[in-house]
Chain A
Amino acid sequence: MISFATVVERAFTGPICTERDFELGIFVPNLRKVVEKYSIKYDPQHPVPADDDLADRVWAAAMEFLLETGVYCLDTERRILFTQEEIEGALETGPRGHVFGEGKDAKAMPRRFPEDKTPPWCSVGPTSSPVSSELYYVNLVKAHAENPLGDSITIPCLTHVDGQQIVGGSPLGVEGAIRAVLLTREGMRRAGRPGMPIVNGVTTATRAQEHIAAHHFGIRQTDALEIGTVHEMKIDFDSMNKVAYSLAAGSLIFAENGVILGGLAGGPAGVAVVIAAYNPVDLLLLRGAVQHPFPTHFDLGVTSTRDSIWARSLANQAVTRNSTLPVVNVGYSAAGPMTKMLLYEHSAWVIGSVVSGGSVEVGASARGTALDYTSPMDPLFGSEVAHAVAGMSRKEANGIVNALLEKYEDKLRDPPIGQKYQECYNVVSGKPNQEFIELYREVRREMVAQFGLPFKFTVLIPGGEFYS
């Protein structure tokens, strides 16, 4: 694989063009051309498609598109272009099977295929949702770390330090990011999982300098910094600086691709192709150990819409059939904690991802944006579902996802917001309310009765309650 230094050099020497020309003159026409040429068509009846030929066409379209389009560097206003050989070289020699975490919490991330029985990697946590207090922060981390199916953790964003609102790019941002790491380490220690890998280092940070500062206070080589491309097929130096730092520090990278459905990629067909095209970009440019996509709906801000699930499932199939770089999908729901709808939403995109060869990170609720609307129960449910459907056929999964969509699709615009963490949990003991436990059990029973979901475990509910 070509070196990162070579990629950086291209950011300084590649063909110059304006951002507008890149978007409307290069990106959009190139994408439209391949979507048409490889006849990638959205099929709303099959949110989880089961057509290998279609998946491989998405991959072929994506490689052609990437070759012709490249990645736009916002700071130099140049295109970083890759040759066919370079793309293929990256796919052949890219990383595989990285070990995340330390000591007894260390684990190799599996490569999975569509309909694979291999259990998916489950990342759990508030997925960078904003949290207002350090007490909630530590207790949330502890509860997520107690999830026996959680292989790695995603940490929340702290909003205040010592009563002051954190402002990104300021000293408050540096202090907030450092504190977030220290609080996370403490939360995981309390759960008895000090080596559990953090995979969204360090999202309280907004700028590279904050990530770098926080890294020195407890991010390890077996943790991952989360570094993203910019919408769409663009990159900035702030992200590339994080890559440069991470390579020097020897940490892993979760390469995130927040593709927007309805944005420059257009509808679901374009989104599927762009997600697949990001896979080699995540290797070559972001130097990722994992591809981390989230096709977010432009109007609803969630990943649980029918078209988003279709695009994601198809892209997962395209990627996992053709690349060794594992995919860990992350999702955003519309509904908030302690609502049935949230559990349905997370289940829907999780099922689509897992049967399509991906792993999952569950996930943010209430779009990941509402202060304190997060709970450890939802990722627990999501990881239970993820394990239950490993090995399921895409056809069967499609039936379940369709039925789940019917339960919530019409409520995505005005979803039930549910309860804040401090309302549905006892913040002193860190345990969920009885009512929440009942709701969890009810939806779990429903998933067994309606879909025959083979839950595999007698799982520990965060806070100490056993049930089967």
Chain B
Amino acid sequence: MSDESIYERLGATIIAGDKDKLLQAVEDALREGVTPSDIIEKGMSPGMKEVGERFTRYEIYLPEMMMAAEAWEYAMKFLEPKLLEAGTERKKVGRVVLGTVKGDVHSIGKTIVGAMLKMSGFEVFDLGVDVAASAFVTKAEEVEANIIAASALMSTTIPQQKSIIEHLEARGVRSKYCVLVGGGSTNQEWADSIGADGYGRTAGDATALALKAVSKG
């Protein structure tokens, strides 16, 4: 099998969101002598990127994206020890702690943002919905995140985004994190007024902001 067709197969199984077939493809690639880092960078990553692009073109929807992300994570569990063995620890794009704020159960926007971030290579810790301000901070400290992304959909829950920033300040760790806010009822003006580092209208914006934040270091 040519390297090209090996990479193609890896990408295609990611796009199909088929974790078992992906793992099979990974094992076959290793057997053919492809390095773990090439499997990831030349096969799986382009597949993930393609999934994200198809989603923004409305060609696929949330389930396909969630399945691709799952397949990726499944294969990575297998590949990561191999990367370590080879002494080529993969550089991670960044870590994001994500959630919908306290009192708010609107989950879809948050889930889409999480999936899109994964497509761009971020490690995402999704705390779910109805998440206390302090829980965002505690998790971010625990996993040494770069970014805290908070979704809020209602006028009665956006104050919780402000609360996250206040909790960060109270613990003296505000400068360690890039705080991104979004969700229906938020806007740039609101983000500025609470001192957030960025506001995104769409999941695409969220990814662009997150990439910009980590590139600044």
- Which residues from chain A sit less than 8 Å from chain B, CB to CB? 23-24, 28, 130, 157, 159, 165-169, 173, 176, 204, 206-207, 230-231, 236, 238, 260, 262-264, 266-267, 298-299, 301, 367-371
Indicate with 1 or 0, residue by residue over B96-107, a CB within 8 angstroms of chain A CB atoms.
000000111101
Closest B residue by C-beta to A19: B128
Cα distance, A367 to B106, chains bound together (Å): 15
Q: Given that A206-B104, A367-B184 are contacting pairs, would A267 and B61 also be in contact in the complex, using a CB cutoff of 8 Å? A: yes
CB neighbours of A157 from chain B (8 A) = 154-156
| Interface membership of B88, Cβ < 8 A | no
Is A24 a contact partner of B184 (Cβ separation < 8 A)? Answer: no
A168 touches B103 (CB 8 A): yes
B107 touches A231 (CB 8 A): yes
Complex partner residue of A167 from B58, B156, B184, B202, CB under 8 angstroms: B156
- Interface of A, secondary structure class, is loop
Find the B residue at minimum CB distance from A299.
Answer: B202
Are A236 and B105 also in contact (CB < 8 A) when A24-B66, A266-B63, A301-B184 are? yes
CB within 8 A of A159: which of B58, B155, B160?
B155
CB <8 Å contact, B108 and A24: no
Cross-chain contact A263 with B156 (CB below 8 angstroms): no
Known: A130-B185, A169-B102, A206-B104. A159 touches B156 (CB 8 A): yes
Q: Give the residues in chain B near A166, CB-CB below 8 Å.
A: 155-156
Does B58 contact A299, Cβ atoms closer than 8 Å?
A: yes
A166, closest chain B residue (CB)? B156
- B-side residues, CB < 8 A to A, are 58, 61-63, 66-67, 70, 102-105, 107-108, 112, 153-157, 159-160, 184-185, 187, 202-203
Inter-chain pairs besides A166-B156, A230-B105, A371-B185, 17 sampled, C-beta below 8 Å: A130-B185, A157-B154, A167-B156, A168-B156, A176-B156, A206-B154, A230-B107, A231-B108, A238-B105, A263-B61, A266-B61, A267-B61, A299-B58, A299-B203, A367-B184, A369-B153, A370-B187
Contacts of B66 in A (CB 8 A): 23-24
Residues of A within 8 A of B107 (CB): 230-231
Which A residues touch B102, using CB under 8 A?
Answer: 169
In the complex formed, the residue of A with least CB distance to B66 is A24
Taking a contact as CB atoms under 8 Å apart, the answer to whether B61 and A371 are in contact is: no
Q: Is the CB of B156 within 8 A of A24?
A: no
Q: Which of B66, B102, B156: most chain A Cβ within 10 A?
A: B156
Whether A165 lies near B105 (C-beta < 8 A) is no
By beta carbon, the residue of chain B nearest A238 is B105
**Structural contact, B62 and A298, CB atoms closer than 8 A:** yes
Known contacts A130-B185, A369-B153; is A298 also within 8 Å of B61 by CB? yes
Of all chain A residues, the one with the shortest Cβ separation from B157 is A168
Q: How far is the CB of B80 from chain A (nearest CB, A)?
A: 21
Tell me the complex Cα distance, A168–B107, Å: 16
For A168, what are the chain B residues with a Cβ–Cβ distance below 8 Å? 103-104, 154, 156-157
